[in-house]
Amino acid sequence: MDKPVTALAFDFGTRSIGVAFGQSLTGTARELPPLPARDGKPDWDQLQRLIDEWQPQFLLVGLPLNMDGSDSEFGARARKFGQRLHGRTGLPVEYVDERLSTRAAKEEALERGHKGNYARDPVDSIAARIILEDWLRSR
């Protein structure tokens, strides 16, 4: 039997980066507060504190692909973020197709009673949790 694994997932954005933590033992993930970002750059000290606190074995970055599976313009920025994550932490980074996670996250947010004001009620961490749950299911 495979050893349980833990992971932090990130839903990359230019103003906010969604974050979720999960583990394979139960196959569950939970949303964490999103990280504020300036033009896609997080506070790296704050991000390192998250890694120190949760001790993940893997870092996942949602990869926004076009519906035909080709790389999107935003996908290049997400990959760059993932490369920086790996360079700063030394942890393995995996990219996860996130084509439908944002739509699913918005639907879930509305079901929870969010009013559709995504600036006030960001869905980034919901999307990160969905990305992580998909990754856990695929393992």
What is the CATH classification number for the domain harbouring 131?
Answer: 3.30.420.140
- Taking 70 as the pLDDT cut, the residues of the chain under it are 1, 100, 114-122
pTM attached to this predicted model: 0.87
List the Cα angle 33/58/28 in 5-degree steps: 60
Q: What pLDDT is stored for residue 122 in this prediction?
A: 60
* Residue 78 contacts residue 72 (beta carbons within 8 Å): no
* Residue 101 contacts residue 62 (beta carbons within 8 Å): yes
DSSP 8-state symbol, 122:
-
* Residue 75 contacts residue 65 (beta carbons within 8 Å): yes
Domain assignment present for residue 26? The answer is yes
Domain assignment present for residue 1? The answer is no
In degrees and rounded to multiples of 5, residue 8 shows phi and psi of -110, 135
The 10s digit of each residue's pLDDT in 20-54 is: 999 999 999 999 999 999 999 999 999 999 999 99
* Enclosing domain of residue 88: 6-138
Q: What pLDDT is stored for residue 116 in this prediction?
A: 56
Count of domains for the chain: 1
Spell out where the chain has E strands.
6-11, 16-23, 28-38, 41-42, 58-63, 93-97
Q: Which residue has the tokens 């760059």?
A: 80
